[in-house]
Chains A and B, each alone.
Chain A
Amino acid sequence: MYKSILITKGKSGWGGPLTITPTEKCHKILCVTGGGIHPVAQKIAEMTGGEAVDGFSTGAPDDEVMVAVVDCGGTARCGVYPKKGIFTVNLTPVGKSGPLANFITEDIYVSDVKESCIQFADESAINANPAPTKKSPSDTAKTKAQARAELAAMNNGRKKNIVTRLGIGVGSVVNKFYQAGRETIEMVMKNILPFMAFVSMILGIISASGIGNVIAHTLSPLASTLPGMIGISIVCALPFISPVLGPGAVIAQVVGSLLGVEIGLGHIPPQYALPALFAINAQVGADFVPVGLSLGEAEPETIELGVPAVLYSRLITGPAAVIIAYLFSMGLYS
């Protein structure tokens, strides 16, 4: 008997959830993971009662393939099967990418899938399933042992040699590097460059218009003495100001850039960079306390009291951090 399953994306995955229903004709799980049957493909086969085939040694006609299991790093395979209209399960955490990205949609593709991401579909989905047909017992859903034996037989027939295994290992590491590069570039494009654009525009206007001199005469003396910096940190840590200064650390970043300019011009001694980093940032995360606590699965009562606890604590720890940093800045750049 065939069963429907639900496949959800893994922790860093994309797409899905997919509900997959095998039929008489279309029940093959095509495993294209560099040879052999991957455990995820095997689990899908066990749960649906379908048949896992090794795409590298046997292959299957497209109209018999119920779902393709791939381990694509974001170039070809992840797009090929969606383009054919075949459900695609990617084992690596890759979203819409590669030359066929347009075909990768959430209703046909799911990524970063682990064995734990697969479950039976709910009752209604199973009922919607075509009625089980009169099949010989050997064709009913396989037990785990049967499926294991079958898998072992299949893998024995095509034992992975050392070169294949090495290839798969190297491939997965290279994929991780590639994915890291992709994420880094995305971060640079989405966050770092826009910030640079906005701050360099402001800094440019400040220095060209003469406001820079005003800042040099007010902020610089304040940031080049210990009491001045303690003062800055206390203002930043005031419980009614700190949550306003917090979001995206924009204020801290702009002030940091302004101080950087003054340090570069020699108005502030370089060893004051260290305490300054703490002085301008006593408010860090003060706007985010409730969200951060709920990410840590805190109870509502904890959040209610936790918010003021953190805010009050900053009044003590903000200036204290400046003093600690000041002590540690001794001998820096001298």
Chain B
Amino acid sequence: MEIIAALANGFIELFKAGAATFVAWVTGIIPLVIVLMTAVSSVIKIIGEDRVYSLAQTATKYTLTRYTIVPILAVIFLVNPMCYTFGRFVEEKYKPAFYDAAVSFVHPVTGLFPHANGGELFVYMGIAAGINQLGLPLGELAIRYFAVGIIVILMRGIVTEKIYAMMKK
């Protein structure tokens, strides 16, 4: 009998650590995410996605903006996965590069705008939880993730554009 009781306790112990993690996440992450997501998506609803179309269309002409401003606007306003529909503003030969840039931004965006990819928050949140545990502020990581994200999508856009052009020949 005692053995069975000990086994049962051990079994429950196995999940207590998980329960503690769960509670820490629910209380530490969810309240802020809920309020932030609600605020940002309200603002975006008030601005309206139609209003960014013309800006996006103009910005597709130049390499520098095609792989920065266009995907950023697309991801923030249309969110994952509808952001890829902005590809229709882009010339055919740039579409794979544009997709690469847009999809590479759906995680760097989540530090500041979690509404844009609410289903995949934990790429950032998982690592951020560790920073949180150390008692360090998250703002700096979020900003740097966002900024490096912009540089990386520009680079991905340019490299993929060149590779696609080479393959097409």
CB-based nearest A residue for B165? A309
Contact B21 A204 (CB under 8 A): yes
Query: Given A180-B41, A188-B34, A201-B15, A325 and B87 touching (CB < 8 A)?
Result: no
Query: Given A207-B17, A263-B131, A295 and B124 touching (CB < 8 A)?
Result: no
**A317 close to B (CB within 8 Å):** yes
Residue among B82, B106, B119 with the highest chain A CB neighbour number at 10 A: B119
> What is the total number of residues of chain A having a CB less than 8 Å from a CB of chain B?
85
Interface residues of B in 77-94 (CB under 8 A from A): 81-82, 84-88, 90, 92-93
Chain A 248-265 near chain B by CB (<8 Å), digits 1 or 0:
110011111111111111
**B37 close to A (CB within 8 Å):** yes
Contact B144 A253 (CB under 8 A): no
Contact A185 B34 (CB under 8 A): yes
By secondary structure, the A interface counts as helix
**Cβ of B19: which chain A residues have Cβ within 8 Å of it?**
200, 204
**B52 close to A (CB within 8 Å):** no
Contact B130 A261 (CB under 8 A): yes
A244 CB to nearest chain B CB (Å) = 16
Per a CB cutoff under 8 Å, which of A200, A273, A292, A296 touches B18? A200
**In the complex, A178 Cα to B38 Cα: how many Å?**
8
**A56 close to B (CB within 8 Å):** no
Contact B42 A328 (CB under 8 A): no
Query: Given A184-B41, A203-B17, A204-B19, A306 and B121 touching (CB < 8 A)?
Result: no
Contact A208 B13 (CB under 8 A): yes
Chain A 176-191 near chain B by CB (<8 Å), digits 1 or 0:
1101110111011001
**In the complex, A30 Cα to B63 Cα: how many Å?**
51
**Cβ of B25: which chain A residues have Cβ within 8 Å of it?**
196, 200
Chain B 130-142 near chain A by CB (<8 Å), digits 1 or 0:
1111101000110
A203 CB to nearest chain B CB (Å) = 5
Contact B46 A176 (CB under 8 A): yes
Per a CB cutoff under 8 Å, which of A249, A278, A297, A316 touches B148? A278
Contact B159 A313 (CB under 8 A): yes
**In the complex, A23 Cα to B125 Cα: how many Å?**
58
**In the complex, A328 Cα to B149 Cα: how many Å?**
11
A111 CB to nearest chain B CB (Å) = 14
Query: Given A263-B134, A266-B134, A285-B106, A196 and B95 touching (CB < 8 A)?
Result: no
**In the complex, A284 Cα to B103 Cα: how many Å?**
7
Contact B30 A200 (CB under 8 A): no
**Cβ of B18: which chain A residues have Cβ within 8 Å of it?**
200-205, 208
B165 CB to nearest chain A CB (Å) = 9
**B61 close to A (CB within 8 Å):** no
B162 CB to nearest chain A CB (Å) = 8
New A-B pairs, 5, CB < 8 Å, besides A268-B130, A325-B152: A200-B19, A201-B22, A203-B17, A252-B120, A296-B86
What are 8 sample pairs from A and B whose C-beta atoms fall under 8 A apart? A199-B126, A200-B21, A204-B18, A205-B14, A256-B124, A293-B95, A309-B167, A324-B152
